[in-house]
Amino acid sequence: MEDATRTFGKGSCPPGPVPEGLIRVYSMRFCPFAHRTRLVLRAKGIRHEVININLRNKPEWYYTKHPSGQIPVLENSKCQLIYESVIACEYLDDAYPGRKLYPYDPYERARQKMLLELFYKVPHLTKECLVAIRCGRECADLKLALRQEFCNLEEILGYQNTVFFGGDCISMIDYLFWPWFERLDVYGIADCLNHTPALRLWTAAMKQDPTVCALLIDRSIFLGFLNLYFQNNPDAFDYGLTC
Amino acid sequence: MSGGSARSLAKGSAPPGPVPQGLIRVYSMRFCPFAQRTLLVLKAKGIGHEIVNINLKNKPEWFFTKNPFGLVPVLENSQGQLIYESAITCEYLDEAYPGKKLLPDDPYEKACQKMVFELFSKVLTNKKTTFFGGNSLSMIDYLIWPWFERLEVLELNECVDHTPKLKLWMAAMREDPAVSSLLIEAKAFRGFLDLYLQNSPEACDYGL
């Protein structure tokens, strides 16, 4: 995988300028927000390099890329920086030729952005469930809240009667949602999809997509990362790398 | 005249009919800063529109069929298509209608405006240009303006005393035709706010 490189931590040398013809993404192999950007880079066939950041031990130089050290951040050969995962994904769609992930029609574009608003609680809820389970806490309320969010998405698929959120083909909105659904199993909350058959069909269809497949994270490696992460081990982020 | 002079529609009201061809409808409320964003863009781009004011303290049941969240602004066109969330409505108008583009064409410049929108308060102290998007007024200025207009009305403008660049920006904004045509009259806004804080269903129609 393109991003199978060791993280940069405190004391590391800043990477040089981005070579012409490439775009760089500052990332972390297990981060769902960065995953969105990597999906778009792959789906559009954009030549890129990945620099993984140790999120528990951030390099000082990284704050010159993002004011609070968040990922993902895009950097191009003109030294332009773009952050916020959704903004980065839209930038890539606008700036690069070839397959357009957002629809051309202004109303259809607006619809995808409105759908994104429906999703905003999911990242927080899935993370809270993960933390609760890992810390041995009760999370029935959290799972209920998450199921409710999934019901809202289920309704959309039912109303539209399409396989994907943007229609009969995969598009930007599906890639923006996907990373959290890929993580349901390793987070231990896959049963939250029990009452949403259309959403289950959607996840099955997503797993058939070549881009999604190419970036699918190995389950045992993800679990290894999570174990170390919750032990506060700063080596967690490099788990599973052979080099 | 700010935000349409029609009385708001409330619970029990009949839903308005379809939107006539050649017009776009905005569901709004005269004192709502989010809806004002959309009105600014409609004005700035010269888009033919009609305004339906909604009583936000006593919402018509049919309004939830326009926006499940029950919030303004909402756009409805003659094809019955509905768009909500103020920033999404503004971007939709910029893309769907001809004339002056408010968002830049350049993908990086456009991304910058969106990053600014996200980091509103942090950028305030770092901004080196006259307007938030550069040296001329553009989308990001309209998205931010409604809150600053209200600061002055509520006499909270001491907040901008330490930021002379911001004061200059506010003065420059008042020169803009779209902004000046929608300026809220101070007494009307204070009257609205008084009633609103008392949860009065008359608040939204204050001054009509």
- From B84, B107, B115, residue closest to A94, measured CB to CB: B107
- From A78, A106, A113, residue closest to B96, measured CB to CB: A106
- A2: in domain: no
Which residues, other chains included, contact B81 with Cβ-Cβ below 8 Å and sequence gap of 6+? A107
Please tell me whether residues A72 and A157 are part of one structural domain. Answer: no
Chain A: nearest CA to B75, how far in angstroms?
Answer: 11
Q: What is the pLDDT of residues A160-191, one digit of tens each?
A: 999 999 999 999 999 999 999 999 999 999 99
Please tell me whether residues A127 and A200 are part of one structural domain. Answer: yes
pLDDT score of B33: 79
Q: Any idea of the CA torsion for A10, A13, A19, A24, to the nearest 10 degrees?
A: 0
Mean pLDDT of B91-103: 96
Q: Which domain holds residue A70?
A: 23-100+231-238
Please tell me whether residues A120 and A82 are part of one structural domain. Answer: no
Strands A23-27 and A48-52, sheet pairing: parallel
Mean pLDDT of A43-66: 96
Asked if the C-beta of A95 comes within 8 angstroms of chain B's C-beta atoms, the answer is yes
Q: Which residue of B has its CA nearest to A73?
A: B115
Q: pLDDT-based confidence at A200, cuts 50/70/90?
A: very high
Please tell me whether residues A114 and A136 are part of one structural domain. Answer: yes
- A4: in domain: no
pLDDT score of A242: 83
Q: Which of B108, B110, B117, B120 to probe the A interface (max A CBs under 10 A)?
A: B108
- A201: in domain: yes
Q: pLDDT-based confidence at B129, cuts 50/70/90?
A: confident
Q: Give chain B positions within 8 Å (CB) of A94.
A: 107, 110-111
| Side chain identity, residue A169 | C
Q: Which residue of A has its CA nearest to B84?
A: A114
Q: pLDDT-based confidence at B127, cuts 50/70/90?
A: low
Asked if the C-beta of A201 comes within 8 angstroms of chain B's C-beta atoms, the answer is no
Query: Over 70: is that where the pLDDT of B206 sits?
Result: yes
The DSSP secondary structure of chain A, one letter per residue, reads -TT-SPPB-TTPPPP-PPPTT-EEEEE-TT-HHHHHHHHHHHHTT--EEEEEB-TTS--GGGGGTSTT--S-EEEETT--EEESHHHHHHHHHHHS-SS-SS-SSHHHHHHHHHHHHHTTTHHHHHHHHHHHHHTT---HHHHHHHHHHHHHHHHHHHHHT-SBTTBSS--HHHHHHHHHHHTHHHHT-GGGGTT-HHHHHHHHHHHHSHHHHHHPPPHHHHHHHHHHHHTT-GGGGGTT---
Please tell me whether residues A66 and A122 are part of one structural domain. Answer: no
pLDDT score of B152: 76
Mean pLDDT, all residues of chain A: 96
pLDDT score of B119: 73
Q: What is the pLDDT of residues A84-117, one digit of tens each?
A: 999 999 999 999 998 999 999 999 999 999 999 9
Asked if the C-beta of A117 comes within 8 angstroms of chain B's C-beta atoms, the answer is yes
Whether B32 is catalytic: yes
Asked if A84 and B122 come within 8 Å (Cβ–Cβ), the reply is no
Which residues, other chains included, contact B96 with Cβ-Cβ below 8 Å and sequence gap of 6+? A106, A107
Query: Over 60: is that where the pLDDT of A236 sits?
Result: yes
Number of folded domains that form chain A: 2
Please tell me whether residues A200 and A116 are part of one structural domain. Answer: yes
- A17: in domain: no
Q: Give chain B positions within 8 Å (CB) of A78.
A: 108
Q: pLDDT-based confidence at A149, cuts 50/70/90?
A: very high
Query: Over 50: is that where the pLDDT of B121 sits?
Result: no
CA distance A77 to A189: 41
Mean pLDDT, all residues of chain B: 88
Please tell me whether residues A96 and A119 are part of one structural domain. Answer: no
Asked if the C-beta of A90 comes within 8 angstroms of chain B's C-beta atoms, the answer is yes
pLDDT score of A193: 97
Q: What is the pLDDT of residues A16-29, one digit of tens each?
A: 999 999 999 999 99
Please tell me whether residues A85 and A111 are part of one structural domain. Answer: no
Please tell me whether residues A50 and A114 are part of one structural domain. Answer: no
Please tell me whether residues A110 and A96 are part of one structural domain. Answer: no
Mean pLDDT of A46-68: 95
Q: Give chain A positions within 8 Å (CB) of B111.
A: 82, 87-88, 90-91, 94
- A175: in domain: yes
Please tell me whether residues A89 and A125 are part of one structural domain. Answer: no
Asked if A110 and B108 come within 8 Å (Cβ–Cβ), the reply is no
Query: Over 80: is that where the pLDDT of B201 sits?
Result: yes
Domain regions of chain B by residue span: 107-181
Asked if A113 and B95 come within 8 Å (Cβ–Cβ), the reply is no
Q: Which residue of B has its CA nearest to A117?
A: B85
Q: Which residue of B has its CA nearest to A78?
A: B108
Q: pLDDT-based confidence at B67, cuts 50/70/90?
A: very high
pLDDT score of B159: 53
- From B88, B110, B111, residue closest to A114, measured CB to CB: B88
pLDDT score of B2: 43
Asked if A114 and B83 come within 8 Å (Cβ–Cβ), the reply is yes
- A159: in domain: yes
Q: What CATH number has the domain spanning B107-181?
A: 1.20.1050.10
What ipTM goes with this model?
0.92
pLDDT score of B88: 96
Please tell me whether residues A91 and A164 are part of one structural domain. Answer: no
CA distance B65 to B70: 8
Query: Over 50: is that where the pLDDT of A227 sits?
Result: yes
Asked if A90 and B111 come within 8 Å (Cβ–Cβ), the reply is yes
Query: Over 50: is that where the pLDDT of B96 sits?
Result: yes
